[in-house]
Amino acid sequence: MIKGFVLDMDGVLYHGDHALPHAAAFMTWLRAWPFCCITNNPTRSPSAVANRLARMGVHGVAPQQIITSAEATANWLAEKKPGFRYFAVGAAGLQEALAHKGEESREDADFVVVGEGAIDYDGIVTGINLVLQRGACLVGTNPDASVDGSRDGERVVLPGGGALMAPFTVATGQDAVFIGKPEPGLYQMALQRLGLAPAECMMIGDRPDTDILGAQRLGMPTALVRTGRFAPGEPLPAGVEPPSIDVDSLLSLHHALRLSQSC
Ligand SMILES: [Mg+2]
């Protein structure tokens, strides 16, 4: 029986700087349930994401109901090594999340953490030398090859955390651990926060290869909403089982959930 929900945001609630159709109404309905929003995007803090949602007209999502891959990464590192030392390349959201749990060190880091945005040559040089000379481990916030973004108001494709990790893995010959979807870290943090077992919690997402696949591996029921990168009618990629619900809009998802809950 479904007792709560985990939602992806980009491609489900918004695209670029605009809310998708029915997003505000869907969230008004969802507020009666325990839920968490999760995102592979490590660049903004949960408060910044909540403010951004409100500016788009999607209200009532509190920062503590938002988990970013940056937060999940900081949590994972703290479990792995309490009081960890890190060197991170990435935007403010990542730096903020790591500073809460660990100590920054350019000289003696245990982990080199790679996020998205704000990556420069000097950061790559420092990171690869920490791995090669100090034995630091490479950790990526998210494995995406590319992500949707905007530049000067125009929608553009940006390199994702997976692409930005490439200079580090190629130069060092070391593999990286990734935390974001489809890896289990982000889902597990959401389930823990909600206090629910995987079978009790439905994952709602727009990407079968990340949102849906990662949730299926953990045994979560899934809802695919074809409003993001994955178009209506497009066949599922190999290796992804049909989701529990497969719809073309949040309005259809709302109807499907209301019907299944009243049975
Ligand atoms: Mg998405």
Say if pTM beats, i.e. exceeds, 0.75. yes
Give tens-digit pLDDT for 18-30.
Answer: 899 999 999 999 9
Q: Confidence class of residue 261 from pLDDT cuts 50, 70 and 90?
A: low
Q: Look-up: residue for tokens 């903004």?
A: 44
> Do 41 and 16 touch, CB atoms closer than 8 A?
no
CA of 250 to the centre of ligand 1 (A): 13
Average pLDDT over residues 47-72: 95
Average pLDDT (65-82) is: 96
In this prediction, residue 263 carries a pLDDT of 39
Number of domains in the chain: 2
Length of the chain: 263
Q: Mapping DSSP to helix (H, G, I), strand (E, B) and coil, where does residue 32 land?
A: coil
Is residue 104 domain-shared with residue 20, that is, in the same domain? Answer: no
Segment 141-193, tens digit of pLDDT: 999 999 888 788 788 899 999 999 999 999 999 999 999 999 999 999 999 99
Chain segment 234-260, per-residue pLDDT in tens: 999 998 999 999 999 999 999 999 866
Cα 228 to ligand 1 centroid, rounded to whole Å:
6
CA of 69 to the centre of ligand 1 (A): 13
Are residues 173 and 224 both part of a single domain?
A: no
CA of 135 to the centre of ligand 1 (A): 34
CATH of the domain at 144: 3.40.50.1000
* 67 lies in some domain: no
Q: What is the pLDDT at residue 262?
A: 47
Answer whether residue 210 shows pLDDT above 80. yes
Output the CA 111–ligand 1 centroid distance in Å. 27
Compute, in angstroms, the gap from residue 147 CA to the centroid of ligand 1.
Answer: 9
3-state secondary structure 91-138: CHHHHHHHHHHCEECCCCCCEEEECCCCCCHHHHHHHHHHHHHHCCEE
Domain-ending residue, one of 178, 208, 237? 178
Higher-confidence position of 16 and 55: 55
pLDDT at 81 over 60: yes
In a domain, 79, yes or no: yes
Range of the domain at 84: 75-178
> Residue 14: inside a domain, yes or no?
yes
* 134 lies in the same domain as 191: no
Distances (CA, A) of 111 to 45, 76, 161, 183: 21, 11, 16, 18
Angle between helices 69-80 and 185-194 (to 10 degrees): 90
Domain shared by 137 and 190, yes or no: no
Q: Is the pLDDT of residue 228 over 90?
A: no
Mean pLDDT of the region 12-20: 90
Q: Are residues 191 and 167 in the same domain?
A: no
Which of 154, 178, 202 terminates a domain? The answer is 178
Which pLDDT score, from 0 to 100, does residue 243 have?
A: 97
Task: Give whole-number Cα distances, 218 to 75, 141, 210, in Å.
Answer: 19, 19, 12
Pair of tokens at residue 28? 């008004």
110 Cα–ligand 1 center, Å:
31
Among the three residues 124, 154, 178, which one is the final residue of a domain in this structure? 178
